[in-house]
Structure 1
Amino acid sequence: MNVYPFIEAEKTGKHNVTRACELMKVSRSAYYQHAAARPSRRDLADEALTAKIIEVHAMSKGTYGAPRVHAELADAGLRHGRKRVARLMRGAGVAGKSPRRWRTTTIADPAAADRADLIRRDFTTDPTRVDTRWCGDITYINTWRGWLYLATVIDLASRRVVGWAVADHLKTDLVDAA
């Protein structure tokens, strides 16, 4: 026969747990060990909140961290502390995504001479003078395998691409190939 519900009822009725344990011939430590084996109300609330945290995190496609998840829960009417949300996210192995660090791609050679600006920043064009003034640009594209660099050369009058090249490095060979 399980005597622990009787002792629990005595405890909630503001009676003495020690006296109830003596009457039932159970040690107090056995009662408290049995009580600790069950999840507390706080543990049950944490489980429910963790499920909602995981749902909000999944809705954000895994990008939201604790502050944004906390704000979403607050908007939904659930008022919990941000540190509690962060603790539950850590416990569930859920974390937000941080933006990638900026990587410097161009490092100027201090010994190199400045290039002459042959068009003197005048980008106006005459439509009859095709293939007389070209302009180039380099851009970089983030792919699954790393950075990919694209160099293009366009004709200023017709705005057509005259040449282009792609490489996994940002060296002068790329510009020469374009």
Structure 2
Amino acid sequence: MAVSTRATEARTGLQKATLATGIVFLLLGILGFIPGITANFDSLGLAGPGSKAELFGIFRVSVLHNAVHLASGIAALVMAGTHRQGRNFLIYGGVAYLFLWLYGLLMGDDLPANFLPENNADNWLHLALGLAMIALAVLLSPKTVPATKTFPASPAMDRPVLDADEHDQT
């Protein structure tokens, strides 16, 4: 019988945030393929501005857009395994969503070069997601203290400290 030697440590707040982010992305990716939750489902295209399907009747989606949400969710779940990877996911994922926000603002909704069917609601959601993900990474990372020079402890430091009352009794 194989026994795992991996230490089980409690998840950090950052890992939990990464896990929650992954679940949300997976849920959005799945919901984008469900008629009724996605309005104009019959016009769901593979990619590009031709897709007129809208998740919750607000956010334009396509098969590629939904697949990106699913891939982001899977990546977040995998990277939530360690604090460092979770932090990397939130930072780099946040930067990617900020890039998508700028891309959406500069590209416009109906240009053929727009490979993601984004609308104004998508653009502002990407801004909020990017800022929130980066903020989570920064706020939930432990504070680092600059290295200081340490000296070996002296034998006097190993003795218990006596209260004033105890000192008088000796």
Q: Which has the higher contact order (CA 8 A, sep 6+)?
A: 2
- For the pair shown, the structure with the greater C-alpha radius of gyration is 1
Q: TM-score, normalised by structure 1?
A: 0.26
Q: TM-score, normalised by structure 2?
A: 0.26
